[in-house]
């Protein structure tokens, strides 16, 4: 691991000032992703600003929903009574990711900042525009089995690996950040970005900005009865998604009054399926409806040499997730 300066911060303002000191400084929370990347030589920070002492661990009701502090651990969120009651989709998604040990360490803010698991990003001997801008994309003509179906560019076809993000996306979460110029809110849908010409940028945070909390709106609690997070992976647990589907339905009898759908493992950001959601409104919950919704969701999908199977797997996963959620 390369040497770095270590700073412990007790307040957000100080942490932000510390991280602005060097161009390659990072906030350090749970470290489950960053420390791994540093061991691999993929990320070489000059300074780590330890924010674990900041008072950002709370999970509390607000007049508009639920506020989750950026330093709340994945386990604390998944097991929290208010999350289980109001936003069970988030619990399911978090528990589908990583292992219990990692979920005890990983934080909500850190999970949002998680880098891709693309092998070409991890292998420092290979080209990767995300790791070294301008070096090329190894995955484009390489082993691209895990890679994107939607929103990719000829610079990068990597996918966002987080399960939590898929549920946050479906639940219309709002991200609170604080930076050198004050505080602002970012819609979860606008937090992660598509690769375009700048795959090195995973998200829309500005330099020095720190995630402080994530808000779940009260309106998303309407989807607390019919939810499912289906994750398809190479083994039955503790692996990254080939495809995952977050499905949440609001139903009266067998009629779907409203739907939330998002996919993981298919794009550079959690992929919301808004057209399929619109289609599902007012329809009867049956396999035929779900198949049509899946077909709508898959419009525009583009596969590469080794991930063609996802073109079949993804719509089937959507149908299965909707079936389980509506049952």
Binding site for other proteins (CB under 8 A): 1-8, 21-24, 28, 31-32, 35-36, 39-40, 44, 46, 48, 50, 52-53, 75, 98-102, 104-105, 237-238
CB nearer to other proteins: give 52 or 250.
52
Six token digits for residue 164: 């939590």
**φ, ψ of residue 137 in degrees (nearest 5):** -120, 115
CB nearer to other proteins: give 104 or 257.
104
Q: Which residues contact 178 (CB under 8 A, 6 or more apart)?
A: 12, 16, 209, 210, 212
Q: How far apart are CA 56 and CA 62, in angstroms?
A: 15
CB nearer to other proteins: give 8 or 323.
8
Q: How far is the CB of 53 from other proteins (least distance, A)?
A: 8
Q: How far is the CB of 44 from other proteins (least distance, A)?
A: 6
CB nearer to other proteins: give 122 or 303.
122
CB nearer to other proteins: give 92 or 319.
92
Q: How far is the CB of 209 from other proteins (least distance, A)?
A: 21
Q: How far is the CB of 148 from other proteins (least distance, A)?
A: 24
Q: How far is the CB of 245 from other proteins (least distance, A)?
A: 19
């Amino acid at each position: 691991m390369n040497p770095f300066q270590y700073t412990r911060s007790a307040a957000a303002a100080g942490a932000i000032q510390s991280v602005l000191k060097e161009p390659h400084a990072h906030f350090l929370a749970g470290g489950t992703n960053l420390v791994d990347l540093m061991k691999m030589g993929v990320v070489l920070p000059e300074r780590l600003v330890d924010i674990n002492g900041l008072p950002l661990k709370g999970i509390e009701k607000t007049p508009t929903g639920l506020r989750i502090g950026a330093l709340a651990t994945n386990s604390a969120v998944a097991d929290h009574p208010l999350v289980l009651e109001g936003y069970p989709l988030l619990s399911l998604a978090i528990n589908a990711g990583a292992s219990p040990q990692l979920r005890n360490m990983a934080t909500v803010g850190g999970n949002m900042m998680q880098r891709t698991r693309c092998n070409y990003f991890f292998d420092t001997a290979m080209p990767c525009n995300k790791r070294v801008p301008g070096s090329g994309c190894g995955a484009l003509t390489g082993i691209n089995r895990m890679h994107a179906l939607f929103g990719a560019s000829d610079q990068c076809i990597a996918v966002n690996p987080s399960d939590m993000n898929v549920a946050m996306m479906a639940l219309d979460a709002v991200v609170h950040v604080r930076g050198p110029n004050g505080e602002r809110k970012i819609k979860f849908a606008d937090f992660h970005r598509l690769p375009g010409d700048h795959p090195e940028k995973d998200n829309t945070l500005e330099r020095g900005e720190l995630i402080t909390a994530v808000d779940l709106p009260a309106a998303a609690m309407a989807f607390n009865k019919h939810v499912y997070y289906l994750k398809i992976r190479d083994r039955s647990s503790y692996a990254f998604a080939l495809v995952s589907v977050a499905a949440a339905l609001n139903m009266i009898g067998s009629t779907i009054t409203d739907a939330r759908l998002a996919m993981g493992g298919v794009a550079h950001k959690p992929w919301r399926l808004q057209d399929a959601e619109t289609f599902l409104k007012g329809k009867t919950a049956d396999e035929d409806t779900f198949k049509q919704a899946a077909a709508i969701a898959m419009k525009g999908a583009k596969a590469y040499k080794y991930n063609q199977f996802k073109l079949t797997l993804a719509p089937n996963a959507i149908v299965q997730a909707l079936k389980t959620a509506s049952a």
